[in-house]
Each structure stands twice: as C-alpha cells, then as structure tokens.
C-alpha cells in the first residue's frame, strides 16, 4: 500500500513554483466574554484600513527582526537586510524611536484590491463555507459529519467536517486522528479555500483504494474557518480591509487579538505585541479569545490527534516548532521526524521546510502549543504566493485550485502518519 500511496501522491502533486521574493513567518482561565458587538466601534474601525501602513524596515539580523516584531510590526516578508509588513502609526513611531531605518512606507488603502465582490467571487464567505461543509456531510452520510468546534466572539459557529467511518459528530474514536485548521488570520482567505477543497477532494475520492484504506482507519477533522468574524469583516464593504485579527474590542478602543499569538505556549514573549492596536497583539491573557479556547478544548478532548496543520498565507513555507525560539526541539527523534516530514512535503509542494523560529521568534503560536501540550506533530503551511509581488494576501481566484491540488499529497501523508508520526524518519 505504501508504494501505491506514494505513486498516487506524486501524481496529485503540482510542479513547484520558483518565484523570487521574500518569506513570511508566521504563528488560563479567563473571564466570560463581554456582550458581543454587531460592529467594531467607529473610532477603532479606522485602524483596519486608513490608519495602517505597509512598512519596509532595514533589519540585518535575527535580533533586529525580533525587536521589530516586539515593537508591533507584523512581519510578512523577510529579505536580505530588510523586513516588510503592516504597522500602525504608533508602531512606526516606536520603530523610529528605537533607531530603525524606514526604507519605505505607504498607506494600505493606496493599493487595496477589490473583492470578494465580483473579481474574487470564487472565494467562500462564512455562509458559503458552512453550506459547502453541510453539503459534503449530506452527500456522504456514512463517512462525513459536522462537529461544532466552538463559537467566535460574535457568536458565529466554528465548524469542523469530520471523516470517520465508525463515529459521527462528537462521538469519541480510538482511531488515529489528524486535524487541519484554516484562517487563524482573517485576510488569509486562501487558507480557507484550501481546506474546503481538500475536504471535497477526500469525499469525491473516497472509493480510490489508497484513500479508502486511510479513511477507514483514521479520524480526520477539517476546520476551514477559525476566524469567521474577522474574515467577514475583511470583505464586508466591497474592498479588502487587511484585517488580521478577530473582532474583540480592546480597552484602548482598538479591535482584535492575533489568534496565532494567543495560545498558551511561551505566551507574551518575543515576537508578539503588547499594544492592542498592533496586528500581532497577543491578547489580554493566554486563551483570552473564544476562537483559541475552542481549538484548545477541541484538541484536549481528543487524545487520538497526532498530526495537525495550521494553514496560513503567504510565502510557500512548511514550518515546524519551535516558533518562539531558534533553538531546536530537544527531543531528538521527534526533531528528526519533523524534518523528514517537512522535507517530504516540501518535495511535493515546492515549498521550503524549516523551523518556524529560524528568522525571528513568534510566541503564543498554534503549533508550539500543540506540541508542548499534546506532542502533536503540527505544521504551519504558508501557502501561495511566494511574495507580495505575486498578490500577497489577495492573489486572486486563479491560484485556488492549483494550490489545493499541490496540498493533497501532504494531506494524505499526514493522515497516514497519524498512527505513528515518528516512523516518518524511517520512510525513504
């Protein structure tokens, strides 16, 4: 079966892209949520577009990149001698006060593409995601079912599509499990599309012998849209708002927490911002957000989960722990398996595999938490494009199908390895 599966995976993978450009590196008990708002307060809403900047900053070393992130720059690209990303005017002032050279700055609104109105209508909004998952579950009742993972700050359901031939809904299963999460960050809409299409691919190909053998022996969960509030806000006025965070109001009048800085793994350390207005604001406390608590509770309730992906955009990378530090995992066999898995999946996708913290730290990261809490082999996939020159967060609809196709092979691979990820190091 291993040989047949390998042949199937190679047939499904797409040619590697070789575009030039920078790289992206991205990822307690709390009080009850306050009353939910229908819209962010008007003064804070300005921060989503008009008051934020695209900034290019001179940064030669990892320490300089780390400091820039600490000061509130949401680093989206790293190139020789510089980093680029999103900053508020306050964060820009902090960078300048710290002595950083600002190479370029421009308003986000100067180059905002329009959509998902007509140009990007192929992308799924919240209701369309819910409908797509429900349709798959309805069409394949012996295989697929829906599970409510939790609710967003504004009360929208966070839904998982589950593939399991012997257990439905929230029923427990002893089968080895795999979890695939999309859209921690609102503006990364391709990270919703890929898991939606991967779910459809699994359902459509369930009778292929290699796929059938996997699905009969595994417990698979696909959650395409973890941040529905932010995703809907990003598109609601007919032009993209570059929204990254969720929509919880902050005490200073700004809105949102970066969900991929909110997990309880080295929370509040380097690479996350203490300033609520910044795109990488870590939140008031670990798991302060209902979206991250939903992931926490879902994962901790399912000890059978052994492999996991958090889909993001952009930069064509496959990242593994640690993210909070450049020090490698102390667990030698696990590190060997992580590297082997990353290299294998990089071969299929054309992406680059590396430790997440190699270029600068980001604390409170999803995969760092999954590994430290449950020893889950979790990868952050930074999807297409390779750089902002290829469309950045908004690359258009033409990339959706090719990107999903090249990620089928890693999907099947990680589902297959859920019984024993350590054996990845021994598979040629």
Distance CA 428, CA 425 (A): 8
Question: How far is C-alpha 409 from the geometric centre of its chain's CA atoms?
Answer: 18
Quickly tell me which residue has 């998982």 as its tokens. Answer: 160
Alpha-carbon gap, residue 83 to 266, rounded angstroms: 24
Answer yes or no: are the C-beta atoms of 59 and 102 closer than 8 Å.
Answer: no
- Contact, 279 vs 74, CB < 8 A? yes
Query: Which of 74, 102, 106 has the alpha carbon at shortest distance from 87?
Result: 74
Residues marked active site are found at: 382
Cα(250)–Cα(228) distance, integer angstroms:
18
Tokens standing for residue 229: 């509030």
Around 247, how many Cα atoms within 13 Å sit in the side-chain half-sphere? 27
Give residue 80's Cα distance to chain centre.
25
Three-state DSSP at 192 gives helix
Answer whether 280's CB lies under 8 Å from 66's CB.
Answer: no
**C-alpha radius of gyration, the chain, whole number:** 20
Helices 408-416 and 2-12 cross at an angle (nearest 10°) of 160
Round to whole Å and give the CA distance between 67 and 69: 5
């Amino acid at each position: 079966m291993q040989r047949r599966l390998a042949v199937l995976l190679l047939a499904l993978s797409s040619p590697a892209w070789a575009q030039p450009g920078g790289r992206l590196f991205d990822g307690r008990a709390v009080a009850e949520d306050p009353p939910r708002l229908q819209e962010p307060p008007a003064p804070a809403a300005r921060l989503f577009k008009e008051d934020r900047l695209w900034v290019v900053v001179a940064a030669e070393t990892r320490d300089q990149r780390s400091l820039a992130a600490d000061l509130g720059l949401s680093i989206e690209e790293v190139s020789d001698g510089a980093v680029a990303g999103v900053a508020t005017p306050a964060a820009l002032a902090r960078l300048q006060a710290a002595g950083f050279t600002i190479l370029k700055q421009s308003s986000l609104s100067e180059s905002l593409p329009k959509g998902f109105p007509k140009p990007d209508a192929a992308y799924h909004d919240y209701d369309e995601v819910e409908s797509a998952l429900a349709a798959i579950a309805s069409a394949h009742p012996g295989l697929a079912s829906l599970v409510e993972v939790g609710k967003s700050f504004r009360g929208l359901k966070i839904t998982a599509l589950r593939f399991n031939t012997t257990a439905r809904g929230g029923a427990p299963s002893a089968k080895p499990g795999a979890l695939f999460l999309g859209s921690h960050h609102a503006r990364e809409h391709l990270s919703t599309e890929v898991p939606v299409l991967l779910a459809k691919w699994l359902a459509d190909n369930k009778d292929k012998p290699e796929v059938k053998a996997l699905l009969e022996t595994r417990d698979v969960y696909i959650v395409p849209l973890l941040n529905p509030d932010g995703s809907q806000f990003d598109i609601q006025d007919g032009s993209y708002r570059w929204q990254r965070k969720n929509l919880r109001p902050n005490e200073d009048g700004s809105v949102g927490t970066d969900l991929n800085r909110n997990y309880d793994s080295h929370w509040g350390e380097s690479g996350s911002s203490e300033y609520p207005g910044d795109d990488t604001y870590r939140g008031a406390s670990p798991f302060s957000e209902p979206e991250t608590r939903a992931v926490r509770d879902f994962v901790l309730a399912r000890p059978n989960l052994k492999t996991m992906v958090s889909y993001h955009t952009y930069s064509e990378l496959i990242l593994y722990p640690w993210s909070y530090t450049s020090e490698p995992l102390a667990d030698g066999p696990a590190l060997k398996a992580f590297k082997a898995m990353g290299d294998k999946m990089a071969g299929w996708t054309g992406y680059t595999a590396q430790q997440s913290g190699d270029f600068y730290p980001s604390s409170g990261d999803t995969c760092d938490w999954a590994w430290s809490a449950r020893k889950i082999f979790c990868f952050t996939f930074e999807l297409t494009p390779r750089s902002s020159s290829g469309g950045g967060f908004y690359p258009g609809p033409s990339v959706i199908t090719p990107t999903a196709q090249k990620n089928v092979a890693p999907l099947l691979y990680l589902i297959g390895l859920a019984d024993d990820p350590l054996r990845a190091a021994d598979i040629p």
